[in-house]
Amino acid sequence: MKTDQLLVNEYSEFNATYIKAAGNVDMIEELEICLHDFIRFVQNIPMDKFDYRYAEGKWTIKDIIQHIIDTERIFAYRALRISRNDKTPLPGFEENHYVDNTNANERNLQGLLTEMAVVRQATLSLFKSFSEEQLLRTGTASNTSISVRAIAFIIIGHQKHHQKVYQERYL
């Protein structure tokens, strides 16, 4: 399944940015490939940049890695709930509160990247387990309609979005 197979009613206008950032890629293949690309990219960042903030109050590279991990966990949970035909509206989350309440900057880089890889493996296992019917199911998250399959592309696009931010503002 590729991004161009999504219908516009499967995701919000806000998430369209992440869908576009994902590119027209195969869902499962790209979940695997973009993780490895990201890890390789991060490992090539100079060590003195990991605690750098390009402006007052902005996140560090380590903060962003933890944010990507946390967001993927939340989105995978949403995909699970919606795939199981749970019609309970799922709340949004305040990303700044999450970042403010981690210890990402006290962690070593390898620990963060290992956690990210483990979370992605769990996400991949989850999405590989879904039937076509489950992938097409829609639910409500953050007060908008979203499909299970759109969530996978949002996870991909969210990661790619932050990699682009690294390149533009941190390096």
* HEC per residue, 45-72: CCHHHCCCCCCCCCCCHHHHHHHHHHHH
**Domains in the chain: boundaries:** 3-170
* Residue partners of 78: CB distance under 8 A and separation at least 6: 90, 139, 141, 146, 151
Looking at domain 3-170, its CATH class is: mainly alpha
Cross-strand pairs, 140: 145
Supply the pLDDT for residue 169: 86
Q: Return the DSSP state at 90.
A: B
Each residue's pLDDT, cut to its tens digit, for the chain (171 residues) gives 999 999 999 999 999 999 999 999 999 999 999 999 999 999 999 988 888 888 899 999 999 999 999 999 999 999 999 999 999 999 999 999 999 999 999 999 999 999 999 999 999 999 999 999 999 999 999 999 999 999 999 999 999 999 999 888 878
Residue 25 three-state SS: coil
Residues 87, 89, 90, 93, Cα dihedral to 10°: 170
* Residue partners of 164: CB distance under 8 A and separation at least 6: 21
